[in-house]
């Protein structure tokens, strides 16, 4: 499959004064190893309420996993926080929705700069981007799941010259719709979070962070799958980000593996799950034959995935990935029990 790699800075949206392409689409589509697409929502001519902007952080150690997600869907702003005890197989989720007329969260236009600071309804959350690309997460949620509190600070650091999978893609037959995403699944995490009367320690080299940045104008109805994981296997830092759905892949796919933060691009990846339960094993294969992978979900009591309901829903399941993929120089690389997540996003407008 031919994939368009973008290697210099370019706007997400084409200049509206220029002629429209043969497909009648506005945009500069393809994939990149860095955040080379320049996003300015004022350049798009669709209404603001049709745009969804979100920043998602997934951080985990050997014992716990946390998800922090900030969403601005144009007519609703939301904070979604999930805490998972891996050993005890317990999950807690807190979702707070705010009408943007009264309380909005200005999300950065770029993924490499800008910070988010939230002080709402007794919650304090800061997501700070440092000059070197490192990040700081500070949270203070007094009431979180069964009268617990969640409080702490984490530092996410990256290797020098780390690469990300960045895509700007359209939807078929949807001239004004686009999906601009960046995933960096290779952060080292360190710090302490207090939760359930425990201090959960995140140690560098044993704890990981995944950052997903999305700016999307979806069709009225859409279903999209995403999987990501990070960890050490065979003495290597293995991580990946995979996407599967109805977005137009004529320009590129969203799929990449990383070895020590260096990107190895993949073609199409198929997600195969049980029709009975999300908690059955999942299987992944790529069209170029370079990936064969199995996902074993965690068997958890109670709530088994987190959802956020308004114009869209997000369902997640957590577990471990094992398999083999071939690098760009055709070296087979085997990995086992890499912790990660599968997500399904659905839009119903």
* Structural domain spans, the chain: 24-33+49-348
pLDDT at position 309 over 90: no
Q: Whole-model pTM?
A: 0.92
pLDDT at position 312 over 90: no
Q: Using one digit for the tens of pLDDT, what is the confidence trace for 198-251?
A: 999 999 999 999 999 999 987 878 889 999 999 999 999 999 999 988 899 989
27: left (phi over 0), alpha (psi -120 to 50) or beta: left
For residue 5, the 8-state DSSP code is B
Cα(232)–Cα(157) distance, rounded to whole angstroms? 16
Least trusted range by pLDDT, from 120-129, 143-152, 299-308: 299-308
Q: Between the CA atoms of 124, 184, 66 and 56, what dihedral angle is there, to the nearest 10 degrees?
A: 50
pLDDT at position 108 over 70: yes
Instruction: Outline where the chain has alpha helix (H).
Output: none
Residue 172 neighbours by CB under 8 Å, 6+ apart = 246, 248
Cα(339)–Cα(318) distance, rounded to whole angstroms? 8
Ordered DSSP codes for 35-51:
--EEP-GGG--S-GGG-
Cα(221)–Cα(206) distance, rounded to whole angstroms? 39
Rounded to 5°, angle at Cα 225 from 238 and 70: 85
Q: Which tokens sit at 51?
A: 């745009």
Binned at pLDDT 50, 70 and 90, residue 36 comes out as: very high
């Amino acid at each position: 499959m031919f994939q368009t790699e973008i290697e210099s800075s370019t706007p997400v949206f084409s200049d509206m004064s220029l002629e429209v392409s043969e497909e009648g689409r506005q945009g500069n589509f393809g994939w990149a190893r860095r955040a080379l697409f320049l996003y300015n929502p004022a350049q798009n001519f669709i209404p603001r309420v049709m745009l969804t902007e979100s920043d998602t952080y997934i951080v985990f150690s050997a014992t716990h996993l946390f998800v922090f997600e900030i969403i601005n869907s144009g007519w609703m702003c939301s904070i979604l926080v999930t805490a998972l005890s891996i050993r005890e197989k317990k999950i807690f989720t807190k979702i707070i929705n705010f009408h943007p007329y009264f309380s909005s969260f200005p999300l950065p236009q770029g993924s490499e700069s800008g910070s988010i600071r939230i002080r709402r309804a007794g919650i304090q959350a800061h997501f700070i981007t440092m000059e070197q690309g490192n990040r700081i997460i500070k949270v203070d949620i007094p009431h979180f799941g069964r009268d617990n509190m969640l409080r702490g600070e984490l530092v996410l650091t990256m290797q020098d010259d780390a690469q990300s999978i960045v895509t700007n893609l359209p939807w078929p037959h949807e001239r004004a719709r686009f999906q601009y995403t960046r995933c960096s699944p290779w952060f080292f995490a360190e710090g302490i979070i207090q939760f359930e009367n425990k201090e959960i320690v995140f140690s560098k080299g044993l704890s990981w962070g995944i950052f997903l940045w999305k700016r999307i104008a979806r069709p009225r109805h859409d279903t999209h799958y995403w999987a990501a994981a990070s960890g050490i296997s065979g003495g290597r830092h293995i991580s990946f980000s995979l996407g599967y759905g109805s977005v137009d892949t004529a320009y590129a796919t969203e799929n990449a593996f990383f070895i020590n933060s260096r990107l190895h691009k993949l073609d199409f990846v198929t997600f195969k799950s049980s029709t009975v339960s999300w908690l059955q094993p999942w299987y992944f294969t790529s069209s170029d034959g370079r990936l064969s992978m199995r996902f074993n979900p965690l068997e958890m009591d109670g709530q088994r995935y987190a959802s956020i309901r308004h114009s869209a829903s997000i369902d997640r399941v957590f577990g471990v990935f094992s398999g083999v993929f071939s690098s760009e120089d055709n070296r087979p690389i085997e990995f086992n029990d890499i912790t990660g997540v599968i997500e399904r996003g659905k839009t119903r407008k």
